[in-house]
Structures are given as C-alpha cells and as structure tokens.
Amino acid sequence: MHVRTTALATVAILAATLTACSNDRDDSKVGRTAGDSAPVANQPGESRASVRLVWSHTEKDDSGDTSVTYVARVSNPGNSLASVAIDARALDKTGTIVGSGQETLPNIPAHTTFDFLGTLGDSFTQLTGTPAKIDVTQAKDAFGRAGSVQQPMLTTSELKLKQGSRDDLLSNDPYAYDLTVKVTNSTHGDLKGMVTQQVILYNAAGKVVGGDRGSSDNAPDNLPAGMSYREQWTGIPAQGKATRAVYTVWAG
C-alpha cells in the first residue's frame, strides 16, 4: 500500500489504455524525457537548466488543511549531467509568500527534460494564507562552492498502470490509480538508506493530471549494484483520467 512519505529514485513511462481529461494548470509541450540511460558514473556539471511551472492543484484535506501539489519542468540543454535545485513558493493574491520550500532534484541527463512533483503545505507545515499563485525558479548557488550533488536516477522497467479505487485515496480527487514497477540499482555501488520516489500521471494530450510522492512497500535498506526490487503503489490521486505514468526513483 502506498504511504505519503519521503523515501531512493528513476524514470519509466507506460501508456495504458485509459482516456483523457483536464487539470488545473498544464503544458503539453514536453521535450525528450530523462530516462533509464542516465550516465550516473559521470560527475554532474554546472547547471544551465531552465525551470518552469507546468501544473498545480490546490486542495483541502478532511481536517481543513490546505496543500498545493505542483509539477515543475526542468530542461537541461547542456552536454553533461546537471545538478539542479528549485525554490517553490505559494503566494497569496497580494504576492505575499504563504508557504515555500527548496528541493534538490536528481541528476538530470544531458539534452533532456525532467518533470518534478512537489508539495507545499500539509498538516505538519501549514500554509499561512490562501495560495493564489505558485512560483518556481532555479535556486542559485544551492550547493555552495561544490556546485553539484550526486543523486543519480535508477533504472525502472515493467511498469503497469491501472485505474484503482477511490477508497484508497488520501485526498478528495475524482480518480485513483495503482501501479507496479521493477526498480534496478543501475549505479556502480550499493545503495543504502533513503531514496526519493515520485509518479506523475498524464492524459492522452500529454498534460499532467495528477501524481504523488512516497515510499514503497518493498524498498530494501541495502540494494547492491545490479540488483532489483518490485514496488507497488495504490491510491495515486488524479484530477482527470490518465493514459500513462512517468515513475522516477533517485538516490538521496
């Protein structure tokens, strides 16, 4: 069963035979997607990436707490891996910040785009006002003099997406989806400790309709290089009908 917590990470895409719908904010102009062939052994270089918001959704939970889910599209036009951090801010109608966070993304392969799903506000970090706009920008000098981080994407395969039961949702979204996926440690060393995982759902027009971040029922504490494990997620929320999922797991 899927639980909303932070946890290791890569990318997999599967087109499922489901129909399309709408979302709060989207952008269907998707470039080449960062995939399984990321050269994780290379040192990430200085980022020349661009960042833009392509989707956001605001909702309240059963306790009345407001949260915002957003998707930021990051493009790496360079010839090497990029290390990128983003600043996300929820602004009220006066332009005042009512919630914010800085996120470190996985290493993004050269000449690819990567969609990052983030959240602002929950029962633990409540927003201090009503969000009217989400602003996302690249965080400058986020890694100090080092200028980069090592957070390689892992390899995923055998992803299967199907419509699930709304009874499994932790939100009031109109659609729920389940998925299973195989994750392989494609780095050159053992992976120990936490990982970060996300799934983003798209409709037939290529627009974001939902997604989530969380932990797997079956993520090993120690994953040797070359070994694989299977994950299973239930209750992935969506605002519209999805036709495919992009699943990402990265170390860090």
Cα end-to-end span (Å), the chain: 22
Q: Please answer whether residues 212 and 2 qualify as being in contact, where contact means their C-beta atoms are separated by less than 8 angstroms.
A: yes
- pLDDT of 216 reads 58
Residues in the chain: 252
- pLDDT of 43 reads 57
Those residues of the chain that have pLDDT short of 70 are: 1-47, 123, 215-218
- pLDDT of 168 reads 87
- pLDDT of 148 reads 84
- What is the C-alpha to C-alpha distance for residues 82 and 252, in angstroms, rounded to an integer? 15
Residue 229 β-bridge partners: 183
Helix (H) or strand (E) holding 114: strand 112-120
Q: Which residue carries 């799934």 as its tokens?
A: 199
- pLDDT of 61 reads 76
- Give the percent of the chain with pLDDT over 90: 57
- pLDDT of 217 reads 59
- pLDDT of 171 reads 81
- pLDDT of 103 reads 94
- pLDDT of 239 reads 95
For residue 43, how many other CB atoms are within 10 A of its CB? 10
